[in-house]
Structure 1
């Protein structure tokens, strides 16, 4: 039993180190990698609950790296409200007894995310459409976040299409990720899935996640980011496929 617990904790620590490394290199991907790997050894809801605290800490770090926090809040608050509402509405899937739907939904979301990252071309959103699209994008992102624990689509390509400066883009993504993490925590807690044991392990996961981020930022300068992102998305697609078909062969 002790050996099982030790190996379980080791796998969790290694997962968050790898996820932190990816975020350090690519600027995103910690929750996506963490929940993709952990869902292979535990239920999607347990995996989602473990990523809450390390995701929150790393995203807050990203959020407060820039100087335009208030300006971005004023511009994106409707989208953030949509994320909150959508996530709270969508967490019933993660916290429901039917883990098959949650696993298939998570796997499908990972596949879509990977395909978009591999093949989609950058978009551009005209300023006149932003007020109309922001609540729709926020609500859709929230529903996907609540149902799968993945909060990158469609928020990331949408924010990237707003024509923000590099620093504002990083900060806006940090804002979206932070709101998504808080909303997911609220949804999981409401569904009774955010237990003390999960909170403790989630807090401990901060250490390997931050260490992985530090290593990733060091490595970023020495490798081709394009090649790294390509193999990252291929790996995510493989993990997503495994999660989507896994319930039907067991």
Structure 2
């Protein structure tokens, strides 16, 4: 509580507003929480604190979705996508330990360029259909990018969505796969940054505070 009081009411209000909007989008379409939180919070918080704030909302919101969809179904979906998840987790664990070693400007650049690249691909409608032979290396590359950027920022979705779209994954299955991958990644992010020190006694209260607008926003978005 003391840590929250030291932050001040104006910043807490901004965190609440940004996270409420992110939760609303998550509740309405099923994804997008970390990207919106990072984009909004980075305007007034340092990068490592932004990442810390994202961790608990990402963890709880994704586990909540898994509980709604069914744990068994999610695990079966995850097993079918085990190559992607395995590579992603390896790179996430690696990059998470680099957060404290990278300058804030370099961190924003490393995160921003891949996210912008995949966003442009989605907006412009660029499409490609890899052959069956090329799918495994392309899947591994997408997973590596997803994990590396995810460990630094909590944003792991753009490479995954681009890959699933490229292989013509049916919409319903795509949502299941995203849910499974995001849930596993959120657990890994939580554990990795307990180890890295990004999530600690000083930053945990603000991340826990952000759970309130996250869940409220998800409830409103699902109406």
**One fold, TM greater than 0.5?**
yes
Match of 1:100 in 2: 105
Quote the offset at 1:94 in angstroms: 2.2
Contact 1:82–1:135 (Cα < 8 Å) also in 2: yes
> CA offsets, 1:205-248, max 9 Å, x none?
12211211222233xxxxxxxxxxxxxxxxxxxxxxxxxxxxxx
Mapped pair 1:159 → 2:164: yes
Match of 1:76 in 2: 81
Mapped pair 1:188 → 2:188: no
Task: Measure, in 1, the Cα distance between the counterparts of 2:87 and 2:25.
Answer: 27
* 4 and 73 in structure 1: CA distance in 2 versus 1, 3 angstrom threshold: closer
Within a 5 Å distance, the mapping from 1:60-139 to structure 2 comes to 60-64=63-67, 65=69, 68-96=73-101, 98-139=103-144
Match of 1:201 in 2: 206
Structure 2 spans left out of the alignment, 5+ residues: none
Residue 169 of structure 1, aligned match among 171, 174, 190: 174
TM-score (norm 2): 0.84
* 124 and 213 in structure 1: CA distance in 2 versus 1, 3 angstrom threshold: farther
Larger displacement relative to structure 2 (167-176 or 45-54): 167-176
Quote the offset at 1:11 in angstroms: 1.2
* 126 and 213 in structure 1: CA distance in 2 versus 1, 3 angstrom threshold: farther
Task: Measure, in 1, the Cα distance between the counterparts of 2:133 and 2:64.
Answer: 31
Structure 1 spans left out of the alignment, 5+ residues: 219-250
Task: Measure, in 1, the Cα distance between the counterparts of 2:193 and 2:181.
Answer: 18
> CA offsets, 1:80-110, max 9 Å, x none?
1111111111124422252221122233244
Mapped pair 1:8 → 2:5: no
Quote the offset at 1:2 in angstroms: 5.5
Which 4+ stretches in 1 moved above 4 angstroms?
A: 1-4, 122-129
Quote the offset at 1:32 in angstroms: 0.2
Task: Measure, in 2, the Cα distance between the counterparts of 1:98 and 1:172.
Answer: 33
Match of 1:227 in 2: none
Match of 2:32 in 1: 29
